[in-house]
Amino acid sequence: MIVIEKSLLEKIEAEAEKSYPFECCGIIFGSIEKNEKLAHSIKSIVNNFGSGEEHHRFLITAEDMMRGELYARQNGLDIIGFYHSHPDHPAIPSDYDRDHALPVYSYLITSVKTGRADITASYVLSDNKFTAEEISAE
């Protein structure tokens, strides 16, 4: 389960709407306690996927990850997951998402229908398959 403040979830959904018709993306920082991921903050990342593909793909570069790791270390946090949007598609991981995901992390996906955030779901990769993860928005 990932526990995330309602205000952080609203920021992710607002960013998804603002980025429409392109995918937004970012890093989720927090801690893990008693098998729960506790989200404390997020960092928006510029979608670095090549021109013409950013409407259905996202890319977080190695440099973005290094900056994220540094931020986490400086603030006593861990990277617990990532978020991105699916413009005019369901909040279900694509084959591309699966091929580029890493185990353990939470992957929050916000479906955006005609510019409005619809559903946000979370998934965890295990044995090359995504499993739905409960979101607790407090």
Pairing of strands 2-4, 116-126: unpaired
Total number of domains constituting the chain: 1
pLDDT at 56: 62
| Residues 91-115: tens digit of each pLDDT | 999 999 999 999 999 999 999 999 9
pLDDT at 11: 98
CATH label of the domain that carries residue 127: 3.40.140.10
Average pLDDT over the chain, rounded to whole? 93
Q: If pLDDT is split at 50, 70 and 90, which confidence band does 60 have?
A: confident
Alpha carbon of residue 112 to chain centroid:
14
pLDDT at 77: 98
The C-alpha atoms of residue 27 and residue 63 are separated, in whole angstroms, by 13
Q: Which domain holds residue 99?
A: 2-137
